[in-house]
Structure 1
Amino acid sequence: MMTTIKKCTLTDVHDLQTISVETFTETFKEHNLPEHLNAYLEKAYNLKQLQQEIANPSSQFFLVYFNEDIAGYLKVNTDEAQTEAMDDDSFEVERIYVKRKFQKHGLGKLLLNMAFELALEQKKKKIWLGVWEDNENAIAFYQKKGFVQTGAHSFFMGEDEQTDLIMTKTLQ
């Protein structure tokens, strides 16, 4: 088993779009109306939107490969790129997704550990993320990694308002 992580550049935008749509659909398809899911996918993962996000110096994307296959990805934000107003000491994990067939291989842990390293390199004191309130596996994973719920915010899937828990971990 060979695992590698590669920072995304604009040349990776098609691969990023493919893995984004695939993992988001796998995760949320059975819990949402198709029209709400499709509206979200079109808005969040169109090529122009992803190109803008990759080009933002306060955001970074990373692809994780399992052998030769793209197995998942990570998106992190600082400063004004964070999806919630946070202080300058905060570092956001906006997206962390692994394809179902590659789960249980430690890839989520690998990506999250990378986020911890990036946050510490940038002298951040807190790392935070939003997770859907009904995603029990993800919530348990983050709790095991030392995150605690510190708030909640609305997340819209098309016109359907859902709740994401905001979970935060203080870094040493």
Structure 2
Amino acid sequence: MSSTADIATIRRATVDDAAVLAELGATTFTETFGHLYPPEDLQDFLGKSHSTDSWRRSLSDPNKAVWLAVHPSSRHIGFIVVGACKLPVEQLEPTAGEVQQLYVLAEFHNLRLGARLMAAGFEWLESQGRTPLYIGVWSENYGAQRFYQRYGFSKVGEYGFPVGKTVDREFILKR
């Protein structure tokens, strides 16, 4: 029987990973949510949020950290982005942190990669003195909500998340 360590290694991403993350980010977002949007909205969002340039900026931001899950075949199969909280939280604490993105390719779900990525992200957030922690999650992504509840997150608000001209109802969770 193989362990989760045999499935993937987790490593800190660098600016040199921008193109890899652009492709992986676009693939995982489309795989998870692409069916919800008109094609033009999806393409607009992917062009802005998952371009190599947008990832290069994220990876250069000292207030963020990104980890990649890498399969033994060298295939990149998941990632987490953590940093200072950017959610629209009323009376946001100045030290608040956020799990900004957490995605794993669908074929690698249920192998505890999300938990391993969360551990890396939490360790970095703690080292930066980031507390409390927040996460934004789509209001109808029940699996993700259950996952985050296992980490002690609970709903404290809502906001609109734009994907092109479509605006999703998102929950703000806090731990």
TM-score normalized by structure 1? 0.91
Comparing 99-108 and 136-145, the one that deviates more: 136-145
Tell me the C-alpha RMSD between the 2 structures.
1.4
What runs of 5+ residues in structure 2 fail to find an aligned partner? 1-5
Partner of 2:123: 117
What runs of 5+ residues in structure 1 fail to find an aligned partner? none
Kindly report which structure 2 residues correspond to 1:67-78, keeping only aligned pairs within 5 A, or say none. Answer: 67-68=72-73, 69-78=75-84
**What's the CA shift for 1:153?**
1.1
Pair 1:50-2:29 in alignment:
no
TM-score normalized by structure 2? 0.89
Corresponding residue pairs, total: 167
- Match of 2:110, SS? coil
Measure the CA separation in 1 of the matches of 2:87 and 2:118: 18
- Match of 1:74, SS? strand
What amino acid does structure 2 have at the position aligned with 1:156? P
Partner of 1:99: 105
- Match of 1:166, SS? strand
Measure the CA separation in 2 of the matches of 1:45 and 1:84: 21
- Match of 1:64, SS? strand
**What's the CA shift for 1:83?**
4.1
Runs of 4+ in 1 over 4 A off after TM superposition: none
Comparing 104-113 and 61-70, the one that deviates more: 61-70
Measure the CA separation in 2 of the matches of 1:25 and 1:75: 17
Measure the CA separation in 2 of the matches of 1:3 and 1:21: 20
**What's the CA shift for 1:53?**
1.4
| Bigger proportion of residues as strand | 1
Conserved 8 A contact 1:93-1:129: yes
Pair 1:18-2:50 in alignment:
no
